[in-house]
Amino acid sequence: MSALYGTYARSDLAFERGEGMRLYDQHGREFLDFHSGIAVNALGHGDPHLVAALKAAADKVWHTSNVFTIPEQERLGQRLVDTTFADKVFFTNSGAEALECAIKTARHYFFAKGQPDRYEVIAFTGSFHGRTMGTIAAGGNPSYLEGFGPPMPGFKHAAPGDLEAVKALVGPQTCAILIEPVQGEGGVTAMSNEFLQGLRQICDENDMLLIFDEVQCGFGRTGRFFAFEWAGITPDIVAVAKAIGGGFPLGACLATEAAAASMVPGTHGSTYGGNPLGCAMGNAVLDRIQAPGFMDHVAQMGQRLAWHLQQLAQKYPDYVLELRGKGLLAGIKIAPPVRDFVARLRDDHQLLAIGAGDNVLRLLPPLIVTEADIEDAMTRIGAAFDAIEAETAATASAS
């Protein structure tokens, strides 16, 4: 029996090494990775630039403290500021911590303005923002809240896509709107540009801050550096993680100068967040993502994945019920139970994918995916549908 908490329904599969788009288990079997450690391995496995950066950083200082200047952190922060809407950056170890920082920044912004009663955040059903007490309250999913006592107050929830419902929730205590431009865990639902633009307008009209959770959909996954860029709007605060470290635990909260102005010494902190080792990896990931042609490749592969999924849907209309997502964050709402289908893909077809809410098969390939990899994945998914079809026919003929 494992000594670990039983918080995961783990498979016995254990990987020993990885190369690019593929992982190899303890028996030498090869698996095509359309999982990416839940959108973390943006550059796949064993990327030479990341490996070299990690080895070089290991020969230097691993960790000090945020009470000292950390040159790697200063450099990564400045590069993110130069690349995005943000003026300020706070580094964390994870996406949940980045969201905690985002929520605290929004609330403290109004506290510093002499409006301490403005602490409520409007969030959305079907969202996922992490597993801390604050972020499960922000997500509002009853199954994640059950058993942990009263949820942290200060969050209201509207249905995605319903601007009138959002307006109805705005009150004198509302300080911010928090949303994933593309919901990952909740079912790979992409928000429309018009909806995101409407949220920006509501925030502007009511002196509220707009927070985007780009932990899963950001850092290039939709074909632009941030998913919100498709809507042509600018947020006040953004939480990022997963791909930013390429597999090394790293997250960040990005904010405008105004939003972050009150976050002075004593308001927030992190022991490990932004340490030299983590930020060395963050800089190495950014080197690759900002390399000429990289984002063009991601955008092109997102379009090719969408086209191949359309072909799959036409070939298997009884199994593919709906296509969702944006770029290389793709979802297929399927007829078979998604948990069983993910296991079937993994065990019988050596394809790694992940389930999401609303019985959606979530595809999160590394951003280095090629069209040949996409075709390979479609073949394996089709073979899994064919196997179900054959088993169903055999059962019917035997009865």
Active site amino acids: 128, 213, 242
Alpha helices in the chain (DSSP H): 36-39, 48-58, 71-83, 95-112, 133-139, 142-145, 163-169, 193-205, 257-260, 276-289, 294-315, 338-349, 371-398
Cβ atoms of residues 280 and 57 within 8 Å: yes
Q: Which of 296, 181, 295 is nearest to 227 (CA)?
A: 181
Antiparallel, parallel or unpaired: β 360-363 and 15-19: unpaired
- Please tell me the distance from the alpha carbon of residue 155 to that of residue 139, in angstroms, as a whole number: 9
Q: Tokens representing 194?
A: 């018009």
Q: Which of 98, 194, 88, 87 is nearest to 138 (CA)?
A: 98
- Please tell me the distance from the alpha carbon of residue 284 to that of residue 292, in angstroms, as a whole number: 15
**DSSP three-state, residue 328:** coil
Tell me the one-letter amino acid at 307. Answer: W
Class of residue 283 by CB neighbours under 10 A (exposed 0-12, middle 13-18, buried 19+): middle
Cβ atoms of residues 333 and 356 within 8 Å: no
Q: How far is CA 376 from CA 31, 304, 318, 321, 395, in A?
A: 11, 13, 21, 21, 29
